[in-house]
Structure 1
Amino acid sequence: MKAAVVGLGDMGSGLALNLIKAGFETWGFDIDQKRMASFSEFGGTPAENLFELGRNVDAAFVMVMTGAQAKEVIFGKGGLVEAMRRGGIILITATIKPHELEEIAEGLKSTGLDLVDTPVSGGFPGAQSGTLTMMAAAPSDILDRAAPVMEAVSAKIHRVGSAPGQGQTVKACLQTVIGSIFAANFEACVLAAKAGISGQVIHDVFTTSGAGCGVTKAALENIIDRKFEGTGSHISTMHKDLTISLDLAQQMTVPLHMAAQAMQVFHAGKIKYPNGDNWVCTRVIEEIVGVELHRDGARAIR
C-alpha cells in the first residue's frame, strides 16, 4: 500500500513522517516549497503536482485548511479524482464543515474511489508523534482496508459512524469543549496574575486537579513560558474550527453558550495577533488588565 499526504504543514508533516516510519512509500505535495524540501529530507517522495501524486498511491490523506481547498485537491483539474485508480482511498483528516464532507462524498459516488471522513485531534505534538485520535466515519469494509495507514499515524481510531459527515460532526462537538477549556484557562491566568500568584503555582494546581487535562496543560505551559508563536497551534485553526461548530449549531438550532463566548476570545486574539498561536489570546486580556503571568510570578505591563 502506497500512501500520500496533501498538505505538509504542522499536521500533515507529522502524518507523512509517521507513514514513512511505518515503512510506507509516502508521496507528498504542498504549494510551499520549503515544506516540500523538509518532506524530502526525512524520506518522502515529493510530487511535482497532484496528478503525479494520485497516480502513484493507493491512499491519500488530505490535510488542508478548508473545505474549498479539499474540494479543489480532489475535484480540481489534475486532482485526485482524475489521477487515482479505482479502489483508491481518500482520507480527509482536515477539519471542515460536515455538509462540505457530504458534498465531497456525493461527488465521489461514480468515481470508484472510497472516502474516509476522519478528522483528528491531538494537535502538533500528536501529529508528530503519531499519537493522534481519529474520528472515522465510513462503511466498515473501507475502514478495514484503510486501517494500516490510519494506525500508522494515530494512537486511537474511533469508528464514529458509517455516513459521510459524521466524523466532522463529532469533531465539531469536540472543538466546542476544547475551545471553551482554552478560553477559561486564558482568563484564569490573567486573574491569577492580577492577584500576584505565580504561573508555576497555577500550573501545578490546575494540572493535578479535576481540571487537569492535556488541553489545560498545553495552554498553561505555553502561557507561563510566554510562548505565543511557533508552537504548532496557530490561532487561525481553532478560530476556523469554532466557526464550524457554531455554523453546525445554527443549522441544528442548538444554543452553544460557552463555545460562542470562546469564539469571541479567539476572535479578539486573531484580530490583535494574527500570527500568534492559541495562547496569544491571553495577551489580549493581559493588556486590558495591565499584568501578565510568568512561570516565576506576575509582572506589570509597562
Structure 2
Amino acid sequence: MTVPLGFIGLGSMGMPMTQHLLKAGHTVIVYDLDDAAVNEAKADGAETATSPADVAGRAEIVFACVNTPQALIDIVLGENGACQGEKLRVFVDLSTTGPPTEIEVAAGLEGTGITLVDSPISGGRRGAIAGTLAVMMAGPDAACEEVKPLIETFGKNIFRIGDTPGQAQTMKVANTLMASTASAVTAEVLVMGVKAGLDPNLMIDVFNTSTARNSATLEKFPDAVLPRTFNLGSMHAIVLKDLNLYLEAARTVDAPTILGPAVVDMWEESMAANGKTADNSTIVKFLESKAGVIVGSE
C-alpha cells in the first residue's frame, strides 16, 4: 500500500506532475492559492487541503513546485507551513529556488524529523505533460531512493547530483544559463541571417548538422518560432528569475560571470518588449522589430 502524497503548487508544471501521480494510482492531497487549479486537481481525483500544514498533516511525502524562493520559504517554514505537519517525513522541492534558499530551508527543518530532497526539474511544461522531465536530486540516500519511483511518474532522466541540499539547485541554474544562452544566440543569428537574405529553415538545417547544434536549434525554434506558434509553455519572468539565481550562485562561490550578465540583459530587453508572461520563444520578436524582418512564416 502506497503512502499518501502531497503536492503544493498547481501551476503550469505542478498540475501535470500531480496528474501523473494520480494516474499512477497514488492518493494525492493538494494545495494552491488558485481555487480553479485546486478544483481541476480535485476533478482528476485529488484530495484538497486548506494549507501547507494541512497537507503535511495528512501526507508522509510532500512535493512542491512554486515560482519564487520566498514562496518556498513560506510554504515550508512560514505560518501554517509544511514543517508543522505531524505526518510529513520527506519534503521534495521541485522548484528552482537557488542554492542559498535551499540551504536556508534545510537548516529550518533541522530537528523536525523532516528530510529535504532538493530536486529541481527541467524540460518545461511540454516535458511535464509528457512525463519526460529531467530531474536533478540532492539529499540523503534513503530519502532520494524512496522518492525516486514517484519522480519517475513524471521524470524520464533522473540525476543524483549529491547528498547536500543546494547542490541540485546549482546544477539547475547552470543548466538554465546554458539553455537560455542557446535560445538568445539562436534568435540573434537567425535574425541576422534573414536580414542578410538567408532562409531560416535552411539555417536551422545547417546548424543541426554542424557544430552549432543546440537545444534551441533542435526543438525550440523549429517547433515554436519558424511556424510562429510561440507555444513552448514557458515564460520570460520565470527564466529571468532563474538566470538571476544563477548569478547569485556564482557570486556566492566567487566564480567569474562574464557572459551571464549579458544574457540577463538580453532577456530583460525581450521581457520589456514582450511582457512578463510572454512565451520564451518570443525572444526573437524584439530582435525582429529592430531588424525589420520576420523569422519564419506568419
Q: Do Structure 1 and Structure 2 share a fold, with TM-score over 0.5?
A: yes
Which SS does the other structure have where 2:294 is aligned?
strand
1:247-266 paired onto structure 2 within 5 Å: 247-266=248-267
In structure 2, the partner of 1:299 is: none
In structure 2, the partner of 1:96 is: 97
In structure 2, the partner of 1:108 is: 109
Measured against aligned partners, the alpha-carbon deviations of 1:238-284 in whole angstroms (never above 9, x if no partner) come to 11111011111122222232322211111111112223111222111
Task: Establish whether residue 117 from structure 1 lines up as the match of residue 153 from structure 2.
Answer: no
Measured against aligned partners, the alpha-carbon deviations of 1:113-162 in whole angstroms (never above 9, x if no partner) come to 11100111111111111111111001111111222212222112111110
Check the 8 A contact 1:266/1:278 in 2, yes or no.
Answer: no
In structure 1, the partner of 2:197 is: 196
What is the CA-CA distance between 1:213 and the residue it aligns to?
Answer: 4.1
In structure 2, the partner of 1:138 is: 139
Task: Establish whether residue 60 from structure 1 lines up as the match of residue 36 from structure 2.
Answer: no
What is the CA-CA distance between 1:225 and the residue it aligns to?
Answer: 2.0
Task: Output the CA distance in 2 between the equivalents of 1:34 and 1:217.
Answer: 35
Task: Output the CA distance in 2 between the equivalents of 1:113 and 1:268.
Answer: 42
Number of positions where the alignment pairs a residue of Structure 1 with one of Structure 2: 294
In structure 1, the partner of 2:271 is: 270
1:107-256 paired onto structure 2 within 5 Å: 107-220=108-221, 221-228=223-230, 231-256=232-257
Measured against aligned partners, the alpha-carbon deviations of 1:198-238 in whole angstroms (never above 9, x if no partner) come to 3332333333444334443333121112233x531111111
Using the TM superposition, name which of 181-190 and 256-265 deviates more: 256-265
What is the CA-CA distance between 1:45 and the residue it aligns to?
Answer: 2.2
Give the TM-score normalised by the residue count of structure 2.
0.92
Give the TM-score normalised by the residue count of structure 1.
0.91
CA RMSD in angstroms, aligned pairs only: 1.8
Which SS does the other structure have where 1:288 is aligned?
helix
Letter in 1 for 2:265: Q
Task: Output the CA distance in 2 between the equivalents of 1:75 and 1:189.
Answer: 46
Check the 8 A contact 1:50/1:73 in 2, yes or no.
Answer: yes
Question: Which 4+ stretches in 1 moved above 6 angstroms?
Answer: none
What is the CA-CA distance between 1:295 and the residue it aligns to?
Answer: 4.0
Task: Output the CA distance in 2 between the equivalents of 1:258 and 1:128.
Answer: 32
Which SS does the other structure have where 2:105 is aligned?
helix
Task: Establish whether residue 39 from structure 1 lines up as the match of residue 49 from structure 2.
Answer: no
Letter in 2 for 1:35: A
Task: Establish whether residue 76 from structure 1 lines up as the match of residue 95 from structure 2.
Answer: no
Using the TM superposition, name which of 60-69 and 147-156 deviates more: 147-156
Check the 8 A contact 1:121/1:133 in 2, yes or no.
Answer: yes
Which SS does the other structure have where 1:197 is aligned?
coil
Measured against aligned partners, the alpha-carbon deviations of 1:35-68 in whole angstroms (never above 9, x if no partner) come to 2222223332232332332222121111001111
Check the 8 A contact 1:20/1:44 in 2, yes or no.
Answer: yes
